[in-house]
Amino acid sequence: MEQPKNMGLKQRIKNGEVVFGTFLSLGYPVTAEIVGTAPWDWVMLDLEHGMGSEKDVLGQLQALANTNIEVIVRVEGSNRQRIHKVLDMGANGIMCPHIDTREEADLATRALRYAPDGLRGVAKLVRATNYGSDFEVYHANQAKNLISIVQVETAKAVKNIDAIAKNSDIDVLFIGPTDLSMSLGIFGQLDHPIYLEAERKIIAAARENQKAVGFLMMDTEDYQKYYDRGVRFFASGTDAFFLKKSNWETANRLLELKNTSNR
């Protein structure tokens, strides 16, 4: 097996480059493989809200193995055993949702590292290390290869953002706009002054501590707006969204043509 392809993405993030990705929420290897034919920089296997479970991660990783796309897994929480499991399968990075304090951020990032720097359990005969053949290389390069993303999506997290951002092992502070706006009491109002001030604080803390800012765009036409604000780690869409959108557009177009031809 080839070594994980995350040699480039983490460095690109640190260099401040723009990178694009999408979420995979259906948990199906064929869907992952189809999405992998597009020029994404990364995909996110979603175990928090997606329909797939931990047992579905391996098939999706294998389906994406021959692409240039790097695979990050959004785990359900910062439980280190869950993080270990998907890293051992060969995930290139982890996203932890609902990180509200520096202590939670520290636990999450330490779960990506072996001792003495972290809490990750050691298993050599796993897919990430080519079933033991490349363990020494994997171990030596873990800190510079594995991508660590924490989601900032509550009022409490915004209050603690300066402390969270000082964690040197975090690569991306990812804004969760839907949850954040709900936590702030202004659900869905992403142009509300309260939301915009929270977003500004997150971006300022990220900039001061050399972190990338991540954001899930609902509309790709918003790219320039969020780029100008400082976002460089862009997410857009999900496999379920792509299927639904194309499904409805095609069916509606055929109905339109049918109705026109019957006049």
Active-site positions read: 49
Count of Cβ atoms closer than 10 Å to residue 16 Cβ: 10
Q: Is 76 helix (H, G, I), strand (E, B) or coil?
A: coil
CA 229 to chain centre: 19
Q: Which of 52, 107, 116 is nearest to 84 (CA)?
A: 107
What residues are paired with 96 via a beta bridge?
A: 150
Q: What is the dihedral of CA 196, 101, 237, 3, to 10 degrees?
A: 140
**8 A C-beta contact, residue 19 and residue 234:** yes
Using CA atoms, how far residue 81 sits from 38, 61, 208, in Å, is: 32, 19, 31
| Preceding amide of 4 cis, omega within 30 | no
Q: Give dist(CA 53, CA 25) in Å, integer.
A: 10
Both structure tokens of 27: 């948990």
